[in-house]
Chains A and B, each alone.
Chain A
Amino acid sequence: MNLLQDLTFSSFMWFLSGAVVLLAVVLGFVTYAIYFERKVIGWIQLRKGPNRVGPLGLFQTVADVLKLLLKEDTIPRNADRFLFILAPVIAFVPAFVVLATIPYTSLLQFADLNVGLLYYFALSSISTIGILLGGWASNNKYSLLGGMRSAAQMISYEVPLVMSVVGVVLLSGSLSLNTIVEGQAGGFWQWNILPQFVGFIIFIIAAVSELNRTPFDLPEAESELVAGYHVEYSGFRFAFFMLAEYVYVYAIAALTTVLFLGGWHSPLPFLDFIPAIVWFILKFLSIVFFLFWIRATLPRIRVDHLMSLGWKVLLPLALVNIFVTTIVIELIKYFK
């Protein structure tokens, strides 16, 4: 549209400062998500978790990041230098870019794209290339195996992930995340999780797999591939991979909230007086907790089972879900 004409200096400054604030929020989230994850898993495993650096160990992650910054940055002699340096950036940048479309409340959103959902999936799959490149460029056999696994895994799970949300799109009739949330107003019985329960389950499984988290952490399967694709990475390049992983935790938790849990809407109408952002954060955090919780509980799935689960179970289920949703929507229209 007339974006360039509308872009005055003041609006540019607004966007810039907004982006900086978002960056700060996301980095703050990552810092404390790592802390929280270690605490939660510590509690589940009868340990104390980090408790030495700062009060209650709150500065543990800060110290870890500082340590990574100060580490010697090594590049293996036989590595493909250019790709080796490029890979963490490719893995990391899309993780941040997808956050632009997440609507936190009806007002707090950076870009209300009419294809927001598509934008999210299109960009997030670029990260896979970063991981694959990292595995390849390291010139290490374990990294290569990890990279191969991650490519196979992400392709297999991208498809059911996208298919699982088609039901939601059909219900709300839009790809815009804002419209999808608007369609879920008026109490928890309006949320997409109820009519789209199958879609929700498929989405969560596929999302965990996209995140490369337990039980789908095959690309970095510690007990088999030592550390998988980032075996050779050290210092801040390694931190970039870690950062990308946790930013995706943020993104997926936010997306799940938006798509299935009614976004910023309160579960019961009489609770509307509580600010919308509080509801969003509560739902968001429960998804984050769920992701950490299963990490402490489940063993790792095997790579060939992972493939058959993706292609033979999740994808057909997602297709059936689309089919049933369409029929029900049409029937309702017909009887009205």
Chain B
Amino acid sequence: MIRTEELLLNVGPQHPSTHGVFRIIVKLDGEVITEATPVIGYLHRGTEKLAENLTYTQVIPYTDRMDYVSAMTNNYVLCHAVETLMDLEIPERAEFLRLIVMELQRIASHLVWWGTYLLDIGAMSPFLYAFREREMIVNMFNELCGARLTYFYMRVGGVKWDAPEGWIDKVRDFIPYMREKLDEYEQLVSGNEIFLARVKGVGTYDAQSAIDFGLSGANLRSTGVKFDLRKDQPYSIYDRFDFDVPVQTAGDCYARYLVRFEEIKQSLRILEQAVEQFPEDGQIMAKVPRVIRPPEGEVYTRIESPRGEIGCHIVSKKKPQPYRLKFRRPSFVNLQILPKLLVGETMTNLVTILGGIDIVLGEVDG
């Protein structure tokens, strides 16, 4: 007798396109997904619990390892929270250094996303092109703080290392170079018929469901909601710079692609201005006591990481260690919408949609 059967397929945690150790169990009818159940936690390290026994400075390296593609913004969100609680004034030069590394990090992070996303879609070369440019940023970070992935660069009250001589000029030279390469990327990929057919109209959701699911970052802005914490709740010195918040209305994977692509350009614009206004000299650390004991109280700060709104909630009991530390991890929140998007899609679109959300498993699992 001929009959059809539902196929229960386990995708991950070892699978080339789940970006690490994400696992999803899908029920397939032919190639069409009827149910999708994500399983997370393979990279869980208990950062928040560990933090309760660590001093604030000791927590910073743990933030490096959360969203390891964008460690600088993670450093910042913790330092920013502690500084807000302590009401610290950050030296000008430190603020500029922080802003420059965060924007470079945003570009590097989007480049990783761009390359791996196209790798998911089946184009191999863009990955290597993206990593060529990322390598330059990583090398700059290496010169600045001696690390290539987990930087541990920022401290409560400023940054650990001053920019070495000629470093700012390297950043300045990088901007036109990157612009030129972006044009190349656009030529190679953005107009490619096969690529457009793969991403247009795939994984569509509207603004309301994006808000309902708590999405942020490019996942939210692709639905037409203009929400970027750098503009809407300026932190650091973002209010001094002139830049746009890219928004698309279609809400599909292509819209998310365009938003991220445009964000690289806007980051370059910010960098251009920041490099021009960079103070000649000055302190890189504020006056901070040796043992950091923030006053008793609670604080929640949030910033715009490349993946969305990353937040840090600290409950302090005037001890060197936080009483409770909680991160709002954008990858984790953004991932929630995945099972809803996958129903009725094919296996091929699973990869496209998952890649389009842009998750980092270190951050999802915490």
Q: Which residues of A does B touch, CB under 8 Å?
A: 41, 44-47, 141-142, 144-145, 148-149, 214-215, 217, 221-226, 295-305
Are B122 and A214 closer than 8 Å at their CB atoms? yes
Q: Which residues of B in the span 237-278 have a Cβ within 8 Å of any Cβ on A?
A: none
CA distance A148 to B30 in the complex (A): 9
Are A145 and B123 closer than 8 Å at their CB atoms? no
Known: A300-B122, A302-B198, A302-B349. 5 other contacts (CB 8 A): A46-B132, A141-B7, A144-B7, A297-B123, A298-B123
Contact of A223 among B119, B189, B192 (CB under 8 A): B119
B172 CB to closest chain A CB (Å) equals 24
A47 CB to closest chain B CB (Å) equals 7
Interface centre among A295, A298, A305 (most CB of B within 10 A): A298
Q: Which residues of B in the span 87-133 have a Cβ within 8 Å of any Cβ on A?
A: 118-125, 128-129, 132
Binary CB contact string for chain B from 178 to 194 against chain A (1 if under 8 A, 0 otherwise): 00000000001100101
**Interface class of chain A by DSSP:** helix
Are B346 and A299 closer than 8 Å at their CB atoms? no
- Our count of residue pairs bridging A and B at CB distance below 8 angstroms stands at 82
A225 CB to closest chain B CB (Å) equals 7
Are B7 and A299 closer than 8 Å at their CB atoms? no
Are A300 and B347 closer than 8 Å at their CB atoms? no
Q: Which residues of B in the span 321-354 have a Cβ within 8 Å of any Cβ on A?
A: 346-351
The 4 closest A-B pairs by CB, nearest first: A300-B122, A299-B123, A45-B128, A223-B17
A146 CB to closest chain B CB (Å) equals 11
Binary CB contact string for chain B from 345 to 365 against chain A (1 if under 8 A, 0 otherwise): 011111100000000000000
Contact of A297 among B28, B120, B125, B346 (CB under 8 A): B125
Are A223 and B7 closer than 8 Å at their CB atoms? no
Are A299 and B122 closer than 8 Å at their CB atoms? yes
**Residues of A with C-beta under 8 A to B125:** 41, 44-45, 296-297
Binary CB contact string for chain B from 11 to 25 against chain A (1 if under 8 A, 0 otherwise): 000011100000000
B197 contacts A by Cβ under 8 Å: yes
14 residue pairs of the A-B complex, CB under 8 angstroms, read A41-B124, A41-B125, A46-B132, A144-B7, A223-B119, A223-B122, A298-B122, A298-B194, A299-B122, A301-B194, A301-B197, A302-B197, A302-B348, A305-B197
Contact of B195 among A47, A224, A296, A299 (CB under 8 A): A299
Are A223 and B121 closer than 8 Å at their CB atoms? yes
**Residues of A with C-beta under 8 A to B15:** 226
B348 CB to closest chain A CB (Å) equals 5
**Residues of A with C-beta under 8 A to B16:** 222-223, 226
**Residues of B with C-beta under 8 A to A215:** 122, 194
